[in-house]
Structure 1
Amino acid sequence: MKAWVLHLAIARRKWVFWGLALLTAVMVAQLPRIQIDTDPENMLPADNQARIFHNQARETFAMHDAIVVGAVNNDGIYTPESLAALKSVSDFAATLDGVIVQDLMSLSAVDNITQEGPGTIRFEWMMKQVPETSEKAAQLRSNVERLPLLFNTLVSEDGKAAAIYVPIIDKNQSYAIARQLQAHIDSLSSTDQWHITGLPVAEDRFGYEMFVQMGISAPLASLMIFVLLFIFFRNVPFITAPMIVAMATVLITMGLLIGMGFTVHIMSSMIAIFLMPIAVVDSVHIMSEFADRYRPGMSVKEVIKEIVGHLFTPMLYTSVTSTVGFLSLMLTPIPPVQIFGAFVGFGIMLAFVITIVFIPAYLVSLNPATLDKMQQHLPDETQSKLAGAVRKLGKLAGSHAKLWLMGFMLIFAFSVWGISKIQINDNPVRWFKQDHQLRVADRVLNDHFAGTYDAFLVLQSTTAPNTAINRALETAASSMSSASANWLKSLKTLGLDQAISAIDDKLFEMTDSTDQAALEQLMMSLEQINRDSKVFTQPEVLEYMAGLQAHMQQSGLVGKSNSLTDVVKTVNRELRSGEQSDYQLPATANGVAQALLQYQSSHRPDDLWHFVTPDYQQSLLWLQLTSGDNQDMTAVVDLVDDYVATNPLPEGLRYDWAGKAYLNVVWQQAMVAGMLDSLISAFITVFIMMVILFRSLVYGTLAMLPLTITISLIYGLIGWIGKDYDMPIAVLSSLTLGLSVDFAIHFLERARDTYRNTGNLRTALQVMFEEPGRAISRNAIVIAMGFTPLLFAPLVPYITVGIFLASIMAVSALVTLIMLPALMTLLQRRV
């Protein structure tokens, strides 16, 4: 097969060049269709139960993503100047397209609730006009601090900060809306410090900066690789070939991804930067050996055939093993990670095919004078600094083999201990650097307020009233005339309140006393069912919710919680005396119902349905958290679980979670379990491939040792330095597996060939630290340096990938060049 491919590449060079150019052009034409997606919700499949419930809860309680705008004044926010600026920003926000005006929360857009007289409540705008004096501003502060729903949510407890919650229709508009808000703030003469934050802004802003980063990192990586290749080979036409391979691989892969309709997520945005260095690996092996072997006057075709002849198998296996490492990501339950793994795996095999076909065709097409010139300017590789360093490494590896083995065993033990210290955690806001304005805003506002991160605890009744309603209808129908009984069937399509109202109207028309009595009895039954079904008007249920809120508040894990109980207590206080002593729940369900009815007379009656459904079968607790870290959200979930275990829910109730902070926990847990499964399966698959490749269990095991040490060491260091195990770190496990074994394959395959020619293991190992060792070292340097542009990215996930990929390449190359010779020396009889 390889002979046929080589013949095609050399004999049909124009076909190869035009075919590659045409395929690249077609795929490049797909790039303008790119769609960016940074929503962490899409880390979960659409049919994931947690995601489904989250979206149901959002729809049921009309909850929307919100931008948080905060103003901070260390001298106090309750001044006419600061309050005027707040009102200006709030009024401006209400004019923006994409903002849900009726749900906007600010001091000028919410109600003050006071007692107008015994049993009478007055609702008026909290700040209809900006206070003109300090006294009026002080009165405003007093009014806010009397309302638990607003205190420490709209104004901080220390009185130094105020917030505006801007709910939006589409989270993908959040960055654009935030920029308009910032532009308006900049136009004010306010002396306050203004900050804009919120998960929607962070996610949408990341999408914008990710797009910019894609356009910067890949070209920089390409430039870095070009410079390194020039240093190695000193001939621009010669090194143009691997650059063409890398660029074509990246453009075709990204064009295919976009053309197939996939969105570019945080993971798939890294495909280009991943493929750019990896795609030149095989090319560098061929070019390196060609530069060492070719001499003026030689037949380029014969040299190419000889080089590709013995490199084809190891290059094929290294490409396949790398592909297996990435394809294993498709076993994870995270769609963006699956797409990333699939397309990087495809890109690696594409790079192999292009290399095998294009590089020979390109080299044969070069002018012999160009190749002769390369030889003239190319320094003697045997005398280069790299060659000297590789030889010294070979001498170190060949001496004290037992000591090296003990050292690697200690490193492995150290690594396992570090792995046990790894903490799983992620937070979209932490995707930005510490000094990024979003991180600063997040820090400042969460220091002042109860929290800008939301989680929702949803309580639901498990007892539906339908059974009781149908039974009551059947009982009434059995004692009524056929005409009236038929009329009752129409009630089954109505809601309970509508059915009771329809019966009340029907009673005025009836003349049959028997039917009338049955209908009156039915109405009484339905009214009782209606009262019983309104679970969240029962004082004992609301008391349980209040107890749970108090427990969460005391734990320190929750900055603040808001619920139906706060609404009822506030209204009940004003209905009675207006004094704090009456800030309590009514003793009866009728008292609760009266309080809720009064609340619906406010300027924002629909706010009630953010906390309870109209049938009072479901209720929501809005938790404000000062941290969006998974660890903190997990601690809150455990806290609630422990409380419910000790204090069982009222009979007929159950609970579940919604909110982005909770969804992040769900997909992180799914990712960790999925990554572990994919890593184990890929490890086993690669091991089987190694045994098949070398037709030896011993050589197969030797090939797996460098990657085992590399993976354990890299992840051990993550545990030791305290770096959180997040999405980029998790994905690197498969990359480590795929790339770490490449060097081992090349080393062992070339070592066996050399041994067959020399008949002496020691001599074979000495030869291995000449041209083969230099080729492996060049590849490690090219790939590692190819990822270094990521270190200058403004986004933390890219920096993380850059640091760890460079480390992976350095460690895996060193382990291969030290560990394998040491083990082969110890196992001479077996190898």
Structure 2
Amino acid sequence: MQSTRLANWLERYTDWVMRHPWPVLASLLLFMVALASQLPHLQIDTDLEHFIDESKPARQAYNAVKETYGRNDVIVVGIEAADVLSDESLTRLADLHRRIEQQVPWVRRVDSLLNAPYQEGTADSLNVDDLVPEPVGTLSRATIEDRIAATPALEGLVVNADRTFTTLVIEPYTYDFDPQAVTDDATAFDDAFGDAFATSSTAEAPAPAGEGDTFLPIEKMFELITALEAEMAVTEGLDAVLAGMPVINQQLEATMKSEMQTFIGLTIALIITVLIVFFRRVSAVVIPLSAVLLAILATFASLSLAGQTVQMPLILVPSFLLAITVGDAIHVLTHFFRAYST
């Protein structure tokens, strides 16, 4: 009974659409334009953390670790030079280190060969100093080599044995904040950021993200990487390369965008070829492609309206939509042209 009612309703609906084509097409066009206006707000999310729902214990435990100990997804800059301990290389490294701290946004801390901790014990005290104190050239190369030899943890981690490669480790801020709140007054700075960056050793169950402070979003992490690449581009005499999970996430986003555009283009070209071979009619090409593009547009616009992001598994959605939509369109067109020809 229900199937009969549905069939009757679909028949009446189809008949009404066929009798009023222009109002239906105009309404559909206005509706799709309204949906298309939401596409600029659609965001691509490559953060692997979001593969686990925030309500899951593993995600809550990970958020608690970040709130207590800070971020673990640091950015590593590998620096290669003929001799990283030469005064020329150390001067350039110090300039890059300083510019990253002062000009790259969302950077909490930069660790490098220059400010690596060096400890020296005496009979009655323990002296703690930077491995290469400022200004560069204060210590001789032999003294720096002695300091590295006295700190085994630096070998292979901060500088290699050949002294041709060193690293800068950049730690982003854990929490998001308003840069306008930063002032030169130390008291105002503490008041603005005290709550955002304070941690409590006695807290047993830190509040999950979203209920209190907000973790630094991936968009601002990408802003950091872009500014960092700009600073590296104007650094001469040092060959640099970026690594770390934030860099991988940025590359994943670029790859997702590129692959979606490439595969959608190739699929549409294949569909056009198949439709031309099968039907040899312009209408049989335009109509299915219109349905395909409208289906993809409606799907991703609906994601944007729902506040959802495009994650890596969703890059397969356009391909599925293309296959399903074109398959249905070919089925309908086959019956239509068969009936139309008789």
TM-score range, shorter chain: 0.7 to 0.9
Distance (Å, rounded) in 2 between the aligned partners of 1:17 and 1:150 = 69
Say which SS state the counterpart of residue 118 (structure 2) adopts.
Answer: strand
Residue 107 of structure 1, CA deviation: 1.6
Residue 234 of structure 1, CA deviation: 2.4
Is 2:183 the counterpart of 1:176? no
* Correspondent of 1:17 among 13, 25, 28: 25
* Correspondent of 1:285 among 331, 336, 340: 331
Asked whether the equivalents of residues 106 and 164 of structure 1 are also in contact (C-alpha less than 8 Å), the reply is: yes
**Counterpart AA for 1:81:** E
Offset from partner CA, 1:744-781 (integer Å, 9 cap, x none): xxxxxxxxxxxxxxxxxxxxxxxxxxxxxxxxxxxxxx
**Superposed counterparts of 1:765-804, under 5 Å:** none
Distance (Å, rounded) in 1 between the aligned partners of 2:111 and 2:38 = 43
**Counterpart AA for 2:154:** L
Distance (Å, rounded) in 2 between the aligned partners of 1:177 and 1:206 = 16
1:52 matched to which residue of 2?
60
Distance (Å, rounded) in 2 between the aligned partners of 1:141 and 1:50 = 44
Residue 229 of structure 1, CA deviation: 1.5
Judged with a 3 Å threshold, the aligned counterparts in structure 2 of structure 1 residues 153 and 130 are, in CA distance, closer, same or farther, namely farther
Residue 294 of structure 1, CA deviation: 4.2
Say which SS state the counterpart of residue 122 (structure 1) adopts.
Answer: strand
* Correspondent of 1:201 among 244, 247, 251: 247
| TM value normalised by structure 1 | 0.33
Is 2:206 the counterpart of 1:159? no
**Counterpart AA for 1:201:** V
Distance (Å, rounded) in 2 between the aligned partners of 1:131 and 1:257 = 54
Say which SS state the counterpart of residue 263 (structure 1) adopts.
Answer: coil
2:88 matched to which residue of 1?
81
2:209 matched to which residue of 1?
none
**Counterpart AA for 1:49:** P
Is 2:265 the counterpart of 1:237? no
Asked whether the equivalents of residues 67 and 165 of structure 1 are also in contact (C-alpha less than 8 Å), the reply is: yes
Say which SS state the counterpart of residue 107 (structure 2) adopts.
Answer: coil
Offset from partner CA, 1:776-808 (integer Å, 9 cap, x none): xxxxxxxxxxxxxxxxxxxxxxxxxxxxxxxxx
Bigger mean CA deviation after superposition, 224-233 or 250-259: 224-233
* Correspondent of 1:127 among 120, 127, 132: 132
1:809 matched to which residue of 2?
none
Say which SS state the counterpart of residue 312 (structure 2) adopts.
Answer: coil
1:91 matched to which residue of 2?
98
Distance (Å, rounded) in 1 between the aligned partners of 2:241 and 2:165 = 10
Asked whether the equivalents of residues 242 and 284 of structure 1 are also in contact (C-alpha less than 8 Å), the reply is: yes
Residue 47 of structure 1, CA deviation: 1.6
* Correspondent of 1:71 among 71, 74, 79: 79
Offset from partner CA, 1:354-395 (integer Å, 9 cap, x none): xxxxxxxxxxxxxxxxxxxxxxxxxxxxxxxxxxxxxxxxxx
Judged with a 3 Å threshold, the aligned counterparts in structure 2 of structure 1 residues 198 and 5 are, in CA distance, closer, same or farther, namely same
Asked whether the equivalents of residues 67 and 196 of structure 1 are also in contact (C-alpha less than 8 Å), the reply is: yes
Asked whether the equivalents of residues 256 and 315 of structure 2 are also in contact (C-alpha less than 8 Å), the reply is: yes
Distance (Å, rounded) in 2 between the aligned partners of 1:279 and 1:64 = 44
* Correspondent of 1:107 among 99, 103, 113: 113
2:303 matched to which residue of 1?
257
Asked whether the equivalents of residues 83 and 130 of structure 1 are also in contact (C-alpha less than 8 Å), the reply is: no
**Counterpart AA for 1:111:** P
Judged with a 3 Å threshold, the aligned counterparts in structure 2 of structure 1 residues 234 and 142 are, in CA distance, closer, same or farther, namely farther
2:191 matched to which residue of 1?
none
Say which SS state the counterpart of residue 142 (structure 1) adopts.
Answer: helix
Asked whether the equivalents of residues 64 and 168 of structure 1 are also in contact (C-alpha less than 8 Å), the reply is: no
Asked whether the equivalents of residues 254 and 271 of structure 1 are also in contact (C-alpha less than 8 Å), the reply is: no
Residue 3 of structure 1, CA deviation: 3.2
Residue 197 of structure 1, CA deviation: 1.0
Say which SS state the counterpart of residue 176 (structure 1) adopts.
Answer: helix
Unpaired segments ≥5 residues, structure 1 = 299-831
Structure of greater Rg: 1
Residue 217 of structure 1, CA deviation: 4.1
Asked whether the equivalents of residues 68 and 163 of structure 1 are also in contact (C-alpha less than 8 Å), the reply is: yes
Distance (Å, rounded) in 1 between the aligned partners of 2:293 and 2:71 = 45
2:176 matched to which residue of 1?
none
The structure with more helix, counted as a fraction of residues = 1
Residue 84 of structure 1, CA deviation: 2.4
Unpaired segments ≥5 residues, structure 2 = 1-6, 174-215
1:144 matched to which residue of 2?
148
**Superposed counterparts of 1:511-590, under 5 Å:** none
1:61 matched to which residue of 2?
69
**Superposed counterparts of 1:430-449, under 5 Å:** none
Residue 208 of structure 1, CA deviation: 4.0
Asked whether the equivalents of residues 87 and 107 of structure 1 are also in contact (C-alpha less than 8 Å), the reply is: no
Say which SS state the counterpart of residue 49 (structure 2) adopts.
Answer: helix
Distance (Å, rounded) in 2 between the aligned partners of 1:35 and 1:109 = 38
Distance (Å, rounded) in 1 between the aligned partners of 2:311 and 2:83 = 42
Distance (Å, rounded) in 2 between the aligned partners of 1:79 and 1:34 = 49
Residue 271 of structure 1, CA deviation: 2.3
Distance (Å, rounded) in 2 between the aligned partners of 1:34 and 1:279 = 23
Residue 149 of structure 1, CA deviation: 4.2
Asked whether the equivalents of residues 80 and 130 of structure 1 are also in contact (C-alpha less than 8 Å), the reply is: no
Distance (Å, rounded) in 2 between the aligned partners of 1:94 and 1:4 = 69
2:264 matched to which residue of 1?
218
Offset from partner CA, 1:562-584 (integer Å, 9 cap, x none): xxxxxxxxxxxxxxxxxxxxxxx
Distance (Å, rounded) in 2 between the aligned partners of 1:141 and 1:175 = 36
Judged with a 3 Å threshold, the aligned counterparts in structure 2 of structure 1 residues 118 and 284 are, in CA distance, closer, same or farther, namely same
Is 2:40 the counterpart of 1:40? no
Offset from partner CA, 1:12-32 (integer Å, 9 cap, x none): 333432332233222112112
Offset from partner CA, 1:613-639 (integer Å, 9 cap, x none): xxxxxxxxxxxxxxxxxxxxxxxxxxx
Alpha-carbon RMSD across the aligned residues, in angstroms, is 2.6
1:186 matched to which residue of 2?
233
Distance (Å, rounded) in 1 between the aligned partners of 2:282 and 2:142 = 74
1:227 matched to which residue of 2?
273
Distance (Å, rounded) in 2 between the aligned partners of 1:247 and 1:197 = 37
Say which SS state the counterpart of residue 35 (structure 2) adopts.
Answer: helix
**Superposed counterparts of 1:615-634, under 5 Å:** none
Is 2:284 the counterpart of 1:276? no
Asked whether the equivalents of residues 105 and 227 of structure 2 are also in contact (C-alpha less than 8 Å), the reply is: no
Distance (Å, rounded) in 1 between the aligned partners of 2:107 and 2:70 = 14
Residue 145 of structure 1, CA deviation: 3.6
Q: Which has the higher contact order (CA 8 A, sep 6+)?
A: 2
Say which SS state the counterpart of residue 112 (structure 1) adopts.
Answer: strand
**Counterpart AA for 2:100:** A
Asked whether the equivalents of residues 67 and 174 of structure 1 are also in contact (C-alpha less than 8 Å), the reply is: no
Judged with a 3 Å threshold, the aligned counterparts in structure 2 of structure 1 residues 240 and 122 are, in CA distance, closer, same or farther, namely same
**Counterpart AA for 2:32:** T
**Superposed counterparts of 1:749-760, under 5 Å:** none
Judged with a 3 Å threshold, the aligned counterparts in structure 2 of structure 1 residues 167 and 225 are, in CA distance, closer, same or farther, namely same
Distance (Å, rounded) in 2 between the aligned partners of 1:6 and 1:163 = 67
Say which SS state the counterpart of residue 148 (structure 2) adopts.
Answer: helix
Residue 245 of structure 1, CA deviation: 1.0
Asked whether the equivalents of residues 100 and 231 of structure 2 are also in contact (C-alpha less than 8 Å), the reply is: no
Seq. identity, %: 22
1:27 matched to which residue of 2?
35
Offset from partner CA, 1:694-748 (integer Å, 9 cap, x none): xxxxxxxxxxxxxxxxxxxxxxxxxxxxxxxxxxxxxxxxxxxxxxxxxxxxxxx
